[in-house]
């Protein structure tokens, strides 16, 4: 099933020249497994890219998409709508953390981040506080690859080609502190004081009344599974409240059961003003993202617009609330409920934690971080070659029929929430075997 020609495609997020010499091709998927082009089954240890939370090719989702495609291929969202758009929003609002029940649809996590940042800035403006324009993100934050997300994001490599970006941003330090917190299980004990940096920075370097929003991933996933220290997010919430700053949680990875609760907001008991999600919203089957906001934010826009043709928020995408995406979302959210997959994630988490931490003492393992059904295994870097060991582990696990993700020298595991004990055992045993084989 190898394509005849690999040249035309410029692949995203891939070392193209190297990959094309020996491509890894995923040709089919079912439940916990991919099938590659040779017919070999590969255990999915990463839910695709943190998105296939209910497992692959689930019939209720596939059939909902097929039914929708046969009825309504497309409907413009510009002064128009279609019934499933409203139904999907109601279903998502019904599952959201309390108080976040207005839904704006987009097509990806990147679009969700940029939309959330625009909503935050525009919100202050529509209620007459136009000085609040600055945005604060974090080092090692990842909010997608669009301009706003890259600006508030903190991955140096993603920013270096775009030095202009957005001027009005600042970054907090990330809370990873292996010296004090190595091998923590769940939230690390040390580091709450890092949240106080928000207050000191805005008071010392900015005028707090110029800050529109703070955006963080409750757990930083893409840059190596960085968990918030105990009390850290609550402290951020308090500081935002004190200074009238909006708090945005990017739950693109942490939403839909990943951390053993429906949302990280619930897991950490902190409700943001704006929440972004994507990925698990459709179980990865159709691109879709969403921004959830508190009614007060939504209502401020509605109140500010005067006249029948006044568009309250001049923003949206051709494919916002696409009929196929909405059908997929409705079916996915129902499946999560019917199969109680978020409860299942919480139930499997202790076994997952034990298996992840069984790698303590394996060659090169410097730290293991985990919560719910996520684990990050940080390796000592090979001298002079940062990231090389992580890449080797990824390639060798693939050869052994297990898909893991690497970010530099951190191996991330985030399997579908339907994983069973035997598969958890195989996932971490394979990583252990590989660590004993590499140098």
Rounded to whole angstroms, the Cα distance separating 97 from 94 reads 8
Q: Which is nearer to ligand PMP, 88 or 355 (CB)?
A: 88
Per-residue mark of binding to ligand PMP, 106-135 (x: CB under 6 A) = --xxx--x----------------------
Q: Which of residues 267-326 bind ligand PMP (CB under 6 A)?
A: 278
Torsion of CA 26, 27, 29, 32, to 10 degrees: -30
At its nearest, how many Å lie between ligand PMP and the CB of residue 49?
Answer: 6
Is residue 36 within the footprint of ligand PMP (CB under 6 A)?
A: no
Please select the residue that binds ligand PMP; options are 36, 44, 217, 423, rule is CB under 6 A: 217
Buried b (16+ CB within 10 A) or exposed e, 37-51: eeeeebbbbbbbebb
Q: Which is nearer to ligand PMP, 82 or 143 (CB)?
A: 143
Please select the residue that binds ligand PMP; options are 48, 97, 221, 390, rule is CB under 6 A: 221
The pair phi, psi for residue 181, each rounded to 5°, is: -120, 15
Selected range binding ligand PMP among 105-113, 123-131, 305-313, 397-405, rule: CB under 6 A? 105-113
Question: Does residue 249 contact residue 265 with C-beta atoms inside 8 Å?
Answer: yes
Is residue 253 within the footprint of ligand PMP (CB under 6 A)?
A: yes
What's the N-to-C CA distance of the chain in angstroms? 34
Selected range binding ligand PMP among 234-242, 246-254, 369-377, 410-418, rule: CB under 6 A? 246-254
Q: Report in angstroms the alpha-carbon separations of 382 from 386, 387, 396.
A: 6, 8, 16
Please select the residue that binds ligand PMP; options are 114, 250, 273, 409, rule is CB under 6 A: 250
Residue keyed to tokens 């994001």: 153
Q: Which residue is nearest to ligand PMP (CB)?
A: 109
Please select the residue that binds ligand PMP; options are 138, 140, 143, 174, rule is CB under 6 A: 143
Per-residue mark of binding to ligand PMP, 319-358 (x: CB under 6 A) = ----------------------------------------
Going by the DSSP 8-state scheme, the letter that residue 227 receives in this structure is: P
Closest CA to 260 of 149, 165, 425, 374: 374
Rounded to the nearest angstrom, the gap between the alpha carbon of residue 32 and the centroid of all alpha carbons in its chain is 20
Rounded to whole angstroms, the Cα distance separating 373 from 128 reads 43
Query: How many positions of this chain bind ligand PMP (CB under 6 A)?
Result: 14
Which residues is 290 bridged to in the sheet? 105, 277
Rounded to whole angstroms, the Cα distance separating 207 from 117 reads 19
**What share of residues in the chain are helix, strand, coil (percent, to 5)?**
40, 15, 45
Per-residue mark of binding to ligand PMP, 174-213 (x: CB under 6 A) = ----------------------------------------
Q: Which is nearer to ligand PMP, 55 or 149 (CB)?
A: 149
At its nearest, how many Å lie between ligand PMP and the CB of residue 256?
Answer: 13
At its nearest, how many Å lie between ligand PMP and the CB of residue 149?
Answer: 6
Is residue 406 within the footprint of ligand PMP (CB under 6 A)?
A: no
At its nearest, how many Å lie between ligand PMP and the CB of residue 142?
Answer: 5
Residues with Cβ within 8 Å of 94's Cβ and at least 6 positions away in sequence, in order, are: none
Closest CA to 257 of 277, 228, 231: 277
Please select the residue that binds ligand PMP; options are 53, 115, 222, 320, rule is CB under 6 A: 222
Please select the residue that binds ligand PMP; options are 100, 215, 252, 285, rule is CB under 6 A: 252
Phi/psi zone of residue 106: left (φ > 0), alpha (ψ -120 to 50 degrees), beta?
A: beta
Torsion of CA 227, 145, 402, 386, to 10 degrees: -70
Which residues is 43 bridged to in the sheet? 33, 402
Please select the residue that binds ligand PMP; options are 33, 104, 123, 142, rule is CB under 6 A: 142
Q: Which is nearer to ligand PMP, 229 or 255 (CB)?
A: 255
Please select the residue that binds ligand PMP; options are 45, 144, 280, 376, rule is CB under 6 A: 144
Please give the structure tokens belonging to residue 84.
Answer: 């499933």
Selected range binding ligand PMP among 39-47, 85-93, 103-111, 431-439, rule: CB under 6 A? 103-111
At its nearest, how many Å lie between ligand PMP and the CB of residue 325?
Answer: 12
Selected range binding ligand PMP among 94-102, 141-149, 340-348, 399-407, rule: CB under 6 A? 141-149
Q: Which helix (H) or strand (E) holds 30?
A: strand 26-30
Which positions lie near ligand PMP, rule CB under 6 A?
108-110, 113, 142-144, 217, 221-222, 250, 252-253, 278
């Amino acid at each position: 099933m190898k394509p005849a020609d690999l040249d035309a495609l410029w692949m995203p997020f891939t070392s193209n020249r190297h990959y094309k010499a020996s491509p890894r091709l995923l040709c089919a998927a079912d439940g916990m497994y991919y099938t590659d082009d040779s017919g070999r089954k590969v255990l999915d240890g990463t839910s695709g890219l943190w998105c296939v939370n209910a497992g692959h090719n689930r019939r209720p989702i596939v059939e909902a998409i097929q039914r929708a495609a046969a009825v309504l291929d497309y409907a413009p969202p510009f002064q128009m709508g279609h019934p499933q758009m409203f139904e999907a929003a109601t279903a998502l609002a019904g599952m959201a953390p309390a108080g976040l029940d207005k839904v704006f649809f987009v097509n990806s996590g990147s679009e969700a981040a940029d939309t959330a940042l625009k909503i935050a800035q525009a919100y202050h403006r529509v209620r007459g506080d136009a000085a609040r324009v600055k945005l604060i993100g974090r080092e090692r934050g990842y909010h997608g690859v669009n301009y706003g997300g890259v600006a508030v994001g903190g991955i140096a490599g993603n920013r270096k080609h775009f030095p202009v970006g957005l001027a009005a941003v600042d970054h907090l330090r990330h809370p990873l502190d292996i010296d004090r917190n190595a091998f923590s299980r769940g939230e690390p004990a040390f580091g709450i004081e890092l949240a106080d940096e928000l207050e000191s920075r805005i008071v010392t370097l900015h005028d707090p009344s110029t800050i529109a929003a703070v955006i963080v991933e409750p757990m930083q996933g893409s840059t190596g599974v960085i968990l918030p220290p105990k009390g850290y997010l609550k402290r951020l919430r308090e500081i935002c409240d004190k200074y009238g700053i909006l708090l945005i949680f990017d739950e693109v990875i942490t939403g839909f059961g990943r951390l053993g609760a429906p949302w990280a907001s619930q897991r950490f008991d902190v409700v943001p003003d704006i929440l972004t999600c994507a990925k698990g919203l459709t179980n990865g089957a159709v691109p879709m993202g969403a921004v959830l906001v508190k009614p007060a934010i939504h209502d401020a826009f509605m109140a500010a617009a005067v006249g029948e043709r006044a568009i309250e928020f001049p923003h949206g995408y051709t494919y916002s609330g696409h009929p196929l995406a909405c059908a997929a979302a409705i079916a996915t959210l129902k499946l999560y409920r019917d199969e109680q997959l978020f409860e299942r994630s919480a139930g499997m988490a202790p076994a997952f934690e034990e298996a992840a931490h069984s790698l303590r003492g394996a060659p090169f393992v410097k730290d293991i971080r985990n919560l719910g059904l996520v684990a990050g295994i940080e390796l000592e870097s090979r001298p002079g070659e940062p990231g090389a060991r992580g890449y080797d582990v990824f390639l060798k696990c693939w050869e052994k029929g297990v898909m893991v993700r690497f970010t530099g020298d951190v191996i991330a595991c985030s399997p579908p929430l339907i994983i069973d004990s035997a598969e958890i055992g195989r996932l971490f045993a394979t990583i252990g075997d590989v660590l004993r084989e590499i140098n």
